[in-house]
């Protein structure tokens, strides 16, 4: 018998595990406080045994507040290699 709706045919794959899984509660708590810089989280998690990368944290982070561009966020809270070569207009180098 053929399923009538696409939703009836779709099977979900199990979620893959992440190096962040053991730290999920801590991350949720930190993100709820707001204004959290990913580089600070990376340092804190490395002290707790996290061996993942900055990009793993950045991809897992909740979206930036409305009105904040991803480029601005990456320029201000990324590791040195992710920072813009030139500061945005009006900011000192």
Residues 37-56 pLDDT 10s? 899 999 999 999 999 999 99
Whether 68 is covered by a domain: the verdict is no
Q: Which domain, by its residues, includes 58? A: 17-63
Helix (H) or strand (E) holding 28: helix 24-33
Whether 32 is covered by a domain: the verdict is yes
Whether 9 is covered by a domain: the verdict is no
At 77 the pLDDT is 46
Whether 1 is covered by a domain: the verdict is no
CB 20 within 8 A of CB 52: yes
Could you identify the residue written with the tokens 């992440």? Answer: 18
Give the 3-state secondary structure percentages of the chain, helix then strand then coil, rounded to 5: 50, 0, 50
Whether 51 is covered by a domain: the verdict is yes
Counted domains in the chain? 1
pTM: 0.54
* Euclidean distance between CA atoms 60 and 18, whole angstroms: 10
Q: Tens digits of per-residue pLDDT, 26-40?
A: 999 998 888 788 999
Least confident stretch, 1-10, 60-69, 79-88: 79-88
């Amino acid at each position: 018998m053929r399923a009538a709706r696409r939703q009836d045919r779709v099977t979900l794959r199990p979620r893959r595990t992440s190096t962040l899984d053991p730290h999920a509660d801590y991350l949720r708590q930190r993100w709820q406080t707001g204004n959290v810089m990913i580089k600070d989280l990376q340092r804190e998690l490395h002290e707790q045994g996290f061996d993942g990368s900055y990009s793993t944290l950045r991809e897992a982070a909740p979206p930036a507040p409305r009105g904040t561009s991803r480029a601005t966020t990456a320029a201000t809270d990324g590791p040195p290699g992710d920072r813009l070569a030139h500061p945005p207009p009006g900011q000192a180098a």
